[in-house]
Structure 1
Amino acid sequence: MELPNVKQAPETERRTATMAERRNRAYAPRMAPEQRREQLLDAVLRVIVEQGVHKVSIDTVAKEADVSRPVVYGLFDDSDQLLRASLDREETAALAQMAEVVPLAAAGDPVAATSESLEYFLAAVQAAPDRWRAIFLIADASTPTFRGRLERGRQAFIAALATFVRESCPPERLPTLDVELTARTLYALFWEAGRLVLADPEAFPPQRIRAYADTLIPALPAFHDRKTP
């Protein structure tokens, strides 16, 4: 009559261990709601960078943040809300960084201003590598919703560059200058440089990119043979 008890003991131990694990995971270190929210959004960003946007879920984020599912559900209803919140945060931060690096015509020398702005942009990318890795990944994503979010920021940056080109170009050249294509050329330089400095920093350090930009930018029609005041 004791044999059933012997057989049940290992199963009882497994159930007890599982319940203990669940109890331990359910009580993550206490944090203020806003602090916990930022921790979870940081985890979302890491999941995007390391596994891809399609891997963002309550389970993967909980595991990445080392908390239980109830902790995540305490702040977010589902994985869609979690992903949207992460994208909102990173989009806002990226747009703020980009706004700070737009060159200004008032600087006097547009060539130097553009090269310095490129250098500032690369520094911003390196200061928040996960944010920009995620942005570059989303740019290549097949989901229109994600690309649409990125497109708004891209168009705003191109528009700011177009304003800079228009204000920096000598008035006599404006009638024959393609301002939009010049702005898009500068944008392509910034964008690809940002990719390279993250993807292969040893082969493409900021110094190498800046040196190349110093030869490329003066050759653009908007700046070619321009005399610095």
Structure 2
Amino acid sequence: MADPTPPPARGELPVVALTPGGTPPARAPRSDAAENRRKILDAAAALVAEQGPDALTMNAVARASGTGVGTVYRRFGDVGQLFSALLDDREVRFQEAFLAGPPPLGPGAPPAERLRAYLHALADRFIDQRELLLAGETAAPVARYAHGSHLGRHAHMAMLLRQLRPGTDASLLAHLLLAPFAPSLVTHLTRDQGYTAGQFKAALDTLLAGVLADA
């Protein structure tokens, strides 16, 4: 079966499946196994979004996905592995969008437009999936900075910043622009404080304007 992942644009980072062990899968799964995996992950994501991470049990996911509980166990082993796979699946989908999707998020737009589109897309993702991401942060609050997903975001943003502001410390600027995307902060602002996605993105535009001034 051909690899369904589109090739990265020239000069971009490759999309990597972030398995719990940190290595990409050895081969593509059979079509029926891939279909079951997708159904299980989509059902798990819906459970977390609607009821919170505590609702993520193997039996609940089996019922919600219409698959046997034995299939869920064979595919993912336990709840911890299922949760890790769910986080990685959402991250790989996001990677595919900004590395090989249409502009301005994907290649083909000026770097300033891509950077703004990237921040907005990241805001939408963190707000829409805040329960899932918050649970991941709670499980490993410090390790997330060394996780492949964060490193990939940082590398992509630093690449765009180097194009916009040659000679500046693009790595540091990327870290600072990513700081608002701590899941705990996003949850506090949007759930507890009531800020909308539009307000969150407008504030990001204000921060970005300062970074791009005189660029």
TM range (shorter): 0.5 to 0.7
Q: Structure 1 length as normaliser, TM-score? A: 0.56
The separation in 2 between residues aligned to 1:194 and 1:96, in whole angstroms, is 25
Q: Which residue of 1 aligns with 2:207?
A: 216
1:166, CA displacement in angstroms? 1.4
Q: Which residue of 1 aligns with 2:197?
A: 206
1:185, CA displacement in angstroms? 1.3
Give the AA of the match of 2:174. A
Residue deviations 1:31-82 (CA, integer Å, cap 9, x gap): x6544432222233344453537x6443332344465534545x53732664
Identity %: 18
Paired residue for 1:165, among 156, 161, 165? 161
Query: Which structure 1 residue ranges, 5 or more long, are not aligned?
Result: 1-31
- Classify the secondary structure of the residue corresponding to 1:140: helix
Count, aligned residues = 179
Query: Which structure 2 residue ranges, 5 or more long, are not aligned?
Result: 1-31
Q: Structure 2 length as normaliser, TM-score? A: 0.59
Give the AA of the match of 1:153. S
| Cα separation, partners in 2 of 1:66 and 1:123, compared to 1, 3 Å | same
1:91, CA displacement in angstroms? 3.4
1:92, CA displacement in angstroms? 1.9
The separation in 2 between residues aligned to 1:148 and 1:198, in whole angstroms, is 20
Q: Which residue of 1 aligns with 2:116?
A: 115
The separation in 1 between residues aligned to 2:205 and 2:83, in whole angstroms, is 39
CA radius of gyration, larger in: 1
Q: Which residue of 2 aligns with 1:151?
A: 147
Equivalent positions of 1:70-89 (< 5 A) are 70=70, 72=72, 76=75, 78-79=77-78, 82-83=82-83, 85-89=85-89
1:190, CA displacement in angstroms? 5.0
CA RMSD between the two structures = 4.2
Residue deviations 1:126-166 (CA, integer Å, cap 9, x gap): 6xx34x5323321221499xx56981111111111112111
The separation in 1 between residues aligned to 2:70 and 2:85, in whole angstroms, is 18
Equivalent positions of 1:1-229 (< 5 A) are 34-49=34-49, 50-52=51-53, 56-65=56-65, 68-70=68-70, 72=72, 76=75, 78-79=77-78, 82-83=82-83, 85-99=85-99, 107=110, 110=112, 113-124=114-125, 129-130=128-129, 133-142=131-140, 147=143, 151-169=147-165, 171=166, 174=167, 177-190=168-181, 195-196=186-187, 199-200=190-191, 203-220=194-211, 223-226=212-215
Q: Which has the higher helix share?
A: 1
